[in-house]
A = this chain, B = another copy of it.
Amino acid sequence: MQDYSFKPVAIIETPFREKFAIPRQAGIVTAAKGRVVLHGEAAQPECVEGLEDFSHLWLTWVFHGVPQGEWRPRVRPPRLGGNVRVGVFASRAPFRPNPIGLSVVKLDAIRIESGKAVLEVSGVDMMDGTPILDIKPYIPYSDAISDVSAGFAPDAPENKLEVLFLPEAEAALQARSDGDSVRELIRALLAPDPRPAYKQAQTEGEYGMLLYDFDLQWRINGNRAEVVDLRASK
């Protein structure tokens, strides 16, 4: 069968610099903001005319960190505790025959910067630097299906941890101009417990997570996630 080749129309900038930090689906962490920076001919402002009438967009993108060809017929979705297998097409796992991702995001603003279109969006679930193949309007009459059965993932992941900011972390947040939105993002990322399923029974442990320009230091203390500090990183 013939191959099809695509050139990205944009790169998305997100807070997520490593896989561990990324929300499991788009939309659920509304504090996760991104910038879709259009590229080449697709960056002409004409290409996004009228997009301001839509509140939500589909982004089709590439799991660019995943080497092509590395997939198995069955995967273990985190929602099933990581030890039950389902077919790769019954999952949204990144390791799939074609590593294509699909996310609905909220469109917050359209900017024209040096003559090129940039979309400010929220609810993103991609790694920083992810190549975007296509942008489409979200059309409720065809996309918002109300009468659905959805196997192992009927509802959003629940919040399992209380999130507490320790004094040093709080001071670091207050020193940032974007402190409030970063605090909200950290809370939303840690509350559902981002640890792999096999680690979630552990009631202590120290973790790091690369977000924006810092390394988030946090630890588990019983059923609390304690944010220890935000350390500058590069």
Contact = CB atoms under 8 A, between A and B. Distances in A.
A136 B54 contact: no
Nearest to A7: B3
A188 to B, nearest CB: 14
Protomer copies = 2
A131 interface: yes
Contact of A87 (B28, B48, B87): B48
Given A143-B143, A153-B137, A100 B60 contact: yes
Interface in A201-230: none
A31 to B, nearest CB: 16
A231 interface: no
Interface string A43-58: 0101111110111101
Contact of A7 (B28, B50, B98, B140): B98
A178 to B, nearest CB: 25
Interface in A60-113: 60, 62, 64, 73-74, 85-92, 96-98, 100, 102-104
Contacts of A131: 1-2, 4
Interface in A4-48: 4-9, 11, 25-28, 39-42, 44, 46-48
B100 A133 contact: yes
Chain A interface residue count: which class? Answer: 35 or more
Contact of A90 (B1, B51, B55, B64): B51
Contacts of A151: 50, 53-54, 137
Contacts of A97: 7, 9, 41-42, 134
Interface of A: 1-9, 11, 25-28, 39-42, 44, 46-51, 53-56, 58, 60, 62, 64, 73-74, 85-92, 96-98, 100, 102-104, 131, 133-156
